């Protein structure tokens, strides 16, 4: 049975839902009529939901996805226009208050993260997906780095993540000349891990999440943090950080179980500890 609990009294109208299935927690943006665009209430709820699953030791894999036909089309522009007209300071506070913490949680929580991109991912929605370890994309969807289209710079980590995936020149092309990049091109560029049909989508995401949730969680978290650290550091600093993470993971129950299973020629069973 799946437990849906983004807040103490979740309802189908909650802007973010958390669905638990064993050690997998699915964080679902839940504004399908607005293509899961991000108003203040949704961003607040998303920060809370991601913080909770990041800190929950029973959660060993996190899936981020959307309800309806979109993954997330970024900022809610109707709310944005209202804030512009009223010169509301929350208009610009939201980057530091919401977008930055969301991306940092997705990119650095001590467990693997999958973006299950069920529809178009645009603007901040694309940034959220790029912060994950794996991106499974339905074949009718695409990515759009839409910021320049509304005369804004980029946010949600896209200046950091995009160039590391496609290179600086292609990243600037996608950011300066925004368009919806179709699924097959997303795969060719390395923007996504896998493209599947709508019929295969749920099963593909579920299989990957289940596999990751049964793995050595702390090792996964340490690897993703080491990669993120090394992206901005020199070789010596990166080697030192790797050494720290090796010491950390070498003392875990999962490492000891894996070595014992190897010697016994058995398959290890990981507990995430």
* 3-213 and 217-263: identical CATH topology: no
For 143-163, what is the mean pLDDT?
Answer: 94
As to burial, measured by CB atoms within 10 angstroms (0-12 exposed, 13-18 middle, 19+ buried), residue 267 is exposed
Which pTM was predicted? 0.91
Among 3-7, 74-78, 80-84, 85-89, the minimum mean pLDDT is found in 3-7
- The predicted pLDDT at position 1 comes to 32
**CATH fold for the domain made of 217-263:** Lyase 2-enoyl-coa Hydratase; Chain  A, domain 2 (1.10.12)
Strand partners, 18: 27
Q: For the segment 198-256, what is each residue's pLDDT rounded down to a tens digit?
A: 999 999 999 999 999 999 999 999 999 999 999 889 999 999 999 999 999 989 999 99
Distance CA 49, CA 45 (A): 6
**pLDDT tens digit string along 1-36?**
344 444 444 555 899 999 999 999 999 999 999 999
Instruction: Identify the CATH homologous superfamily for domain 3-213.
Output: 2-enoyl-CoA Hydratase; Chain A, domain 1 (3.90.226.10)
Where exactly are the structural domains of the chain? 3-213, 217-263
How far is Cα 65 from Cα 17, in angstroms, rounded to an integer? Answer: 10
Q: 5: which DSSP letter? A: -
Per-residue CA distances from 115 to 63, 112, 136, 218, 265 (Å): 6, 10, 6, 20, 34
Which pLDDT score is estimated for 78? 82
CA–CA gap between residue 183 and residue 14 (Å, rounded): 29
């Amino acid at each position: 049975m799946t437990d849906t609990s983004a807040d103490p009294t979740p309802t189908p109208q909650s802007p973010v839902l958390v669905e638990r299935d064993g050690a997998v927690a699915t964080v679902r943006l839940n504004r399908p009529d607005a293509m899961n665009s991000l108003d203040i209430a949704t961003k607040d709820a998303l920060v809370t939901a991601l913080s909770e699953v990041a800190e929950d030791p029973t959660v060993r894999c996190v899936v981020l996805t959307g309800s309806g036909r979109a993954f997330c089309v970024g900022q809610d522009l109707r709310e944005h226009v209202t804030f512009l007209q009223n010169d509301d300071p929350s208009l610009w506070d939201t980057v530091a208050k919401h977008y930055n913490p969301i991306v940092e949680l997705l990119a650095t929580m001590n467990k693997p993260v999958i973006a299950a991109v069920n529809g178009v991912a645009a603007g901040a929605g694309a940034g959220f997906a790029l912060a994950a370890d794996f991106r499974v994309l339905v074949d009718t969807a695409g990515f759009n780095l839409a910021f320049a289209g509304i005369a804004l710079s980029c946010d949600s980590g896209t200046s950091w993540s995009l160039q590391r995936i496609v290179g600086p020149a292609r990243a600037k092309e996608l950011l300066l000349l925004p368009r919806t990049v179709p699924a097959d091109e997303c795969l060719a560029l390395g923007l996504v891990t896998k493209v599947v049909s709508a019929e295969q989508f749920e099963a593909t995401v579920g299989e990957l999440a289940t596999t990751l949730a049964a793995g050595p969680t702390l090792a996964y978290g340490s690897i993703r943090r080491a990669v993120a650290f090394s992206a901005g550091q020199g070789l010596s600093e990166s080697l030192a950080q790797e050494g720290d993470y090796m010491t950390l993971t070498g003392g875990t129950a999962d490492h000891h179980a894996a070595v014992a299973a190897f010697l016994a020629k058995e398959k290890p069973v990981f507990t995430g500890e």
